[in-house]
Amino acid sequence: MQILKSFIFNLILYITLIPTSLIILFLYPFISTANLQSIASKWILFILNSLKIICGVTWKIEGLKNIPEGPCVIVSNHQSAWESFFLQTLCIPSASIIKKELLFIPFFGWALACLKPIHLRRSKKYRSLKKVITHGSKKINKGFSLIIFPEGTRSRPNEGLKAFSSSCGSLSVRNNVPILPICHNSGLFWINRRFIKKPGEVTVRIGPIIKGQNAREVTKEVYDWMKLNFKEIN
């Protein structure tokens, strides 16, 4: 039965993706990036609610009061596509760090480009880190929050938390903005590279903002908070 439910959910996901992408492409010359992201977030919430109704993947959010009013660096562990969707709805406007290859996907990639993410080539790690800092700083100065997965790639819950890159701490210190740490266990239910979605409740824990004057120390503080909460909810 869960196979059928997962098939129906994926069908809805892909059937609605192209028209939503076309709407964003059509409106791109006429409205702001923030408004385009608001449209995208409505589609995302529709998809996540479809996942809840069809596959039984619900979610609860702890610590919403910790979200600051101004720009911040949103730092999250990375387990599945679930958080890649969900985090887009927390702060608008925001910018994600994505693989450049995604922009070449017809319709979806073109619409994604309209939302103004920061795109990187994974094969060029040093240049990519510099680009995250320089382009990310420009985004923050324009009032955007940044969404960063400092582990770099997705990992399953049983693999634990990977080491963090220092880009989140560097962006925070350089631009004098707080880091908003977020820990979740979405990979227990939307399992990476698995078709079947398992019913259950995703816990999204939003921690108190973290700020400091030393990029490495700030990154370590974020990692320590994430590691502690990771053990509690995974």
Q: Which residue has the higher pLDDT, 129 or 16?
A: 16
The residue behind tokens 């908003």 is 180
From 30, 139, 48, select the one nearest 89 (Cα to Cα).
Answer: 48
Question: According to the model, what pLDDT value does residue 126 have?
Answer: 53
State the residue range of the domain holding 133: 2-233
Residue-level pLDDT at 112: 94
pLDDT in tens, 22-39: 999 999 999 999 999 999
| For residues 66-94, average pLDDT | 95
pLDDT at 127: 66
| Res 119: pLDDT | 87
**Taking all residues of the chain, what is their mean pLDDT, rounded to a whole number?**
93
The answer on pLDDT for 74 being more than 80 is yes
User: So what's the pLDDT on residue 90?
Assistant: 94
Which tokens belong to 132? Answer: 């995250």
pLDDT band at 152; cut points 50, 70, 90: confident
How far is 210 from 54, CA to CA, in rounded Å?
37
Q: What backbone phi and psi angles, to 5 degrees, belong to 212? A: -170, -170
Ordered alpha helix ranges (H), the chain: 2-27, 33-55, 81-86, 108-114, 125-141, 167-175, 215-233
Determine the pLDDT at residue 95: 94
Supply the pLDDT for residue 131.
Answer: 82
Domain total in the chain? 1
Q: What is the CATH number of the domain that holds 36?
A: 3.40.1130
* pLDDT at position 137 over 60: yes
What residues have CB less than 8 Å from 130, skipping those under 6 apart? none
Q: For residues 45-65, give the mean pLDDT.
A: 97
